[in-house]
Structure 1
Amino acid sequence: MARKEEPKIQPNNDLEKKIIEAFEVFDHSGKQVVDVREIGTILRSLGCCPTEAEIQEVILATENKEATGNIPLVNFLPYMCKAMTEHRFYPASAEMLLAAFRYFDKENRGYLTKEKFAQLMLQEGEPFTQEEFEEMMQTALDPVTDTITYEYYINQLMLLALQELWSPWLAIDPKKFGYSLRRR
């Protein structure tokens, strides 16, 4: 017996709208369902910074129990609204990033070498893929000095955040980032 198609979910607020829009980019069938392998990308497109373990938690909590391997929007939307409202997967603040860079800058030079940065990003903690690292280096690397001047890099990240990546978070709590979204 064929399953009845779910009615299209209508957003009730800006956060739901952003989550639905991100989800729909990967809903290739138009049936309000995505492959579990897309969840990490969807989360990151929402400005979330989950670990691989947290991505697995999202999958376990939202996966269609009858058709494993699929995440229906009807499960994903309420889960992500709650998670984001609770500030789960929250990106690091500028202050946290600066403290992390300074921790690894033992000589207090204000920069990291490309080699040191590569070691940290590709081999330590939860390593980046080579592709992710190369994409990051497009913004991080100063082509003149061939180093990562981290205060400049953090400012670039914060600018990107304001422009696009963290807009769902800003909709929830703009003061967390020290910005006001009031219209003048």
Structure 2
Amino acid sequence: MLDDEEEEIHVPINNDLERRIADAFEVFDHAGNKTVDVREVATIVRALGCCPTEAEIQEILMVVENPESPGSVHLANFLPHISQIITEHKYQPASPAQLLEAFQVLDNEGKGFLTKERISTLMTQDGEPFTQDELDEMLEIAIDPHTQTVPYEYYINQLMLD
């Protein structure tokens, strides 16, 4: 039997969106107690199709982190906030046209591709840098194994298939 402090909070699931959010959350709820470590929130939010910056993740954490148990997030706090974010279409990924335009800006010679070295430098040193794991994951899909370049129109099409 649970004591008063550990009493389970019932979290109603009212629609398909909330079910999708709860399902993604539960993947990281290793103890099965409707809580996750704050370090998992970015992964969960991004798995739900949102693309917030690290600063925006910190804003989310300020709202959803459990004040009685710092370092953890309860589904009861997470669900309504993330449901609202998704419903309001916040943190939407870039469109294919926006991605193409960004790649074309980086491809100042108009070759239709970026070298592995150039994309690696850009992704780890400029803007919001990728970790090595994130870079490796991206390059696994983006790099043409024969030319060792990123043919960006093909890469964008691959992203859109997911």
TM tier, smaller: over 0.9
> Could you tell me the percent identity over the aligned residues?
55
Residue identity matched to 1:101: F
Q: CA deviation at 1:86?
A: 1.2
Equivalent positions of 1:1-184 (< 5 A) are 1-7=4-10, 9-160=11-162
AA at the equivalent of 1:97? L
| Matched pairs, number | 159
Paired with 1:67 and 1:138, the residues of 2 have a C-alpha distance of: 38
Residues 6 and 31 in structure 1, CA contact (< 8 A), matched pair in contact too: no
**In 2, Cα distance between the equivalents of 1:42 and 1:3?**
24
Higher relative contact order (CA 8 A, sep 6+): 1
Deviation at 1:64, TM superposition (A): 1.0
TM-score of the pair, normalised by structure 1: 0.83
Structure 1 residue 87: Cα displacement: 1.3
Structure 1 ranges of 4+ moved more than 4 A: none
- The CA deviation string for residues 72-131 of structure 1, in whole angstroms up to 9 with x for no partner, is 111100100111111111111101100100000101111111111011111100000011
Q: CA RMSD in A?
A: 1.1
CA-CA distance at 1:148 after TM superposition = 0.3
Mapped to 1, the partners of 2:48 and 2:71 lie a distance apart of: 21
SS state at 1:110 partner: coil
- Whichever residue aligns with residue 117 of structure 1, its letter is I
SS at match of 1:2: helix
Q: Which runs of no fewer than 5 residues in structure 1 stay unpaired?
A: 161-184
